[in-house]
Amino acid sequence: MQPQSRRWTWSALSALVALFIGLLGLPARATAEAITIVDGDLPLISDNITLLGTLPIAGAIGANFRDHYMYVTGVEGLSTFDIADPARPRLTSFTPLPHFENEDVSIGGNLLLIANDRSESAAVLYIFDISNPASPRLRTIFPIGTSTIVTSGLPSHTVTCIKACQFAYLAGTSRGIGILDLRNPDAPVIAGEFKPPITGIATHDVQVDAGGLAWIVGGLGTAAYDVTNPLAPVLVAQTDASATSGPLNDFIHHNSWRPAKTNPKGKPIPGAVVLITEEDYARPTCQDAGSFQTWRIQGELSPVTPAVLTNLDAWTTELNELTALQGKAPATILCSAHYFDEDRGLVAQGWYEQGTRILDVRDPANIKQVGYFVMPVTETWAAYWSPTAPAGDIIYTVDLARGIDILRIERPAADAPGKKAPVRKRWLADESATTVPAAEFSVAHSTFGWACRIPRVAP
C-alpha cells in the first residue's frame, strides 16, 4: 500500500472490524484482506517459512559474505562462520571487539571494515585482514577522532569499501561523506569529504552496485555517484522532490540496493530499479514509521544531465495500516524498517520488532508481502539471503535480541497471493497514550541528529 493512501475502502472496513474483534478478546476471522489481532506471545510465522535453528550471538547487528564465509558484527565482536552448508553455519573464529554501533560490514579485496560510531563512543575504524577468510586478523585500529577534520564533524556511523577497498567512504552526519585513502591499510589517510545534495540531517550509508556506482542515502533522499576517481565523485542520479519529505521520507533514507538483471549472455548487468528503505522510528505512533520502497531510474546515468529516480511503490506493515485507520499508538514497539537483501526478485527485510518480512518486487510497481517471521522477543536489524544456497531458500536474520535465525522459505510463484501477518495486541495502546517511544530508545546528538539508535532490549 502507498503510505499516503487514506481512503476508506471495504478492505479498510474489514481491517477495522478485525481490530475491534481483537481488542474485545474474541477470535478474529482471517480473510484475504483482514488483519488478525492476536493476544499472547506465540511466534508469528507464515506457512512457507521454517525455522531451522538459531546461532546465539549476543547483540548481533550486521553481516557480510565472502565465498562460503559469513562475517557477523555485534556488540561483543566479529564472528566468522563457514556457511558451505547454508543450513548449518559453523563458527570458525571470534574476535572480541566490544563497541557500538557497527551496523554495516564492508568487504573489498582482502580487507574487512567496521566503523565505530562517534555519536556513541570514540570514532574508530577497525581494519581486518581476511586473506585467511576463516580467521580474520585485526590489522589496524584507526582513531578517526584524532583528526581536526573529524572532530569538526566527519562521520563514522557506517563505512563502505570503494574500488576494492583502496578507498573508503564514511557516512553518518550532516557533513555528508568522508573519504579515506586505504592504499596503505596500515596507515589510513583522511583524503577529503563531499556533501551530496540528499544529505539533509545526515547521510546514512553507501552501497556500491554491480556497475561500480556508489548509491548514497540520506535525509533528503538517495543519490548515485560515479566513483571512477574516488577522490572526485560525480553525481549521476538523484531521487525526485518526493523523496525530500513525507510520506516517502519522513526521516531518512536508510539503505539502498540496485538489483542486477541478466543479459542474453548470462552476465549480470545493473537494472533500472532501485530498492530503498526509509527509516523512521521517532514517532508518537507507528503511522508512516518506516517503509520499503521501489524507485525507477529515468534517463541516463550521466554527469551532464543526471538521471531522476521516480517512486513506483512503497510498502508498510499491517501495524501501519491499523494506526492509519484508528490512530492507535504502539505499546513498547520499535516499528521501523532497517537493512534488507534481495535475491531474484524477493526481498528479505529486517523490520526491528516486527521481525523479518519477505517482499516480492518482481513487479516493482506492486510490492506484496509473501512471507513473515516475527518472534515474541525480537529486534531484527537485518536479513540476508545465503549466497551458498543455490535455490535461494535460506535466509539469515541478524537480531540484536536473538542472534542469527536460520530460515528456510518455499519461494512463491510470481502470481502467488500476498500474505498479511497478524498484529500483536500488546503492540497497540489506547488512544490516550502520549508517550513518544523515540524518547525511550533514541538520543538527539548535536551533529548526528536522530539517525542513530541506542538499543534497549527486554530481558
**Does 393 map to a domain?**
yes
What pLDDT sits at residue 22? 41
- Beta carbons of 349 and 292 less than 8 angstroms apart: yes
CB 206 within 8 A of CB 216: yes
Q: By the 8 A CB rule, do 118 and 156 touch?
A: yes
Maximal C-alpha separation, the chain: 65
Q: Give the per-residue pLDDT at 361.
A: 97
Contact 75, 99 (CB under 8 A): yes
| CATH number (domain holding residue 219) | 2.130.10.10
- Rounded to two decimals, what is the model's pTM? 0.85
Report d(CA 80, CA 63) in Å as an integer: 10
For residue 28, being part of any structural domain is answered with: no
Considering the domain boundaries, does residue 6 fall inside one? no
Core vs surface per residue 256-266: b (16+ CB within 10 A) or e: bbbbeeeeeee
Task: Look at residue 452 and tell me if it is in a domain.
Answer: no
Number of domains the chain is built from: 1
- Whether 33 is covered by a domain: the verdict is no
What pLDDT score does 266 carry? 77
Q: What pLDDT shows up at residue 16?
A: 40
Residue 81 lies in a domain: yes
Mean pLDDT by 10 residues, the chain (459 residues): 33 40 37 75 96 94 96 94 98 89 91 86 88 97 66 77 97 93 95 96 95 96 98 98 94 95 79 95 74 97 96 93 66 82 97 96 97 96 98 97 97 96 83 39 38 42
- All three cell numbers of 228, joined, read 571512477
Domain membership of residue 290 (yes or no) is yes
CB 112 within 8 A of CB 106: yes
Q: What does the chain come to in residues?
A: 459
Q: Is residue 26 part of a domain?
A: no
Q: Indicate left, alpha or beta for 448 from its phi (over 0: left) and psi (-120 to 50: alpha).
A: alpha
The answer to whether residues 169 and 214 touch, using CB atoms and an 8 Å cutoff, is yes
| Backbone dihedral region for residue 319 (phi beyond 0: left; psi -120 to 50: alpha; all else: beta) | alpha
Task: Give the range of the structural domain holding residue 250, as residue numbers without chain letter.
Answer: 42-441
